[in-house]
A and B are shown apart, each in its own frame.
Chain A
């Protein structure tokens, strides 16, 4: 039970911790205020709680596919926020762009916490009536959260202590991969809800790196690793990364001309 709890919580915490730490580090490297993080955390946890409490209503919606659809929407919102963030970063000199940039960061962090936080609340809530299982679940959750947050702290300090330009580029790279992972997961939810037809996986690398192993979890959070991805997932993953690179590149080229 402990190991299951560790894996489930680690998966959720690691993903949220990476998004938050990369945004925190990039905000610091781009000389932004950090007050927004507190606001985003409070709103995010509030949203996660509301989501978890209303899960049954959400699940029943859209002929029983409400939860999958909402999760797909949340992942898509994170991707869109990343896309707008990357477009607005090169135009930091303009007040309006800076504001949009800040709003997208707050939006991405709130959405990530709602998505991952609600999963954690739901998972732990499921064991509250079972005293025998609650203590291993709580302990596993503490261990998973501890490992996930520690990795987040390391990433944050790695980025802020690198040479500024290197830190920004590495932060960008991680955001690209997170963006790809978000879209791939959104597609996965749509497959689960039968909005996209399921096909056989294009590869199976579970014998190399299992999704349930610690390495698998880290890779999942970092690059959206899937041992058995559907072709649509893989296509969405690479297409979204391509879109992010293209948008960021065009925005960078036109950085002096926008007003």
Chain B
């Protein structure tokens, strides 16, 4: 099912086709199962797609895809639907820990080719 591509920066990454771009709503997230692993995909206003871990590190629930998508300055963001911590969608870093110790999100590379969205998992992660 999955297509593997290898780019210079993606050494050891296994790519998984997930869905069509149009099945993702603009400025909203969607959960995806990538080789059995829960990932949150976000399609922003400019049609870029970002992937971060679905697990909210502050609550321990798999809910990140249900957060509100927006911007802080030029940074595309998602706010956890549980306790409202804000994360940079590009890097996963926590921009507003809402008074808690910050935790960041793991991010995953995304390719969109011919309307097909693929997510890369680091080598060894997932069955492929």
Do A and B pair up? The answer is no
Residue ranges of A at the interface with B (Cβ–Cβ < 8 Å): none
Residue ranges of B at the interface with A (Cβ–Cβ < 8 Å): none
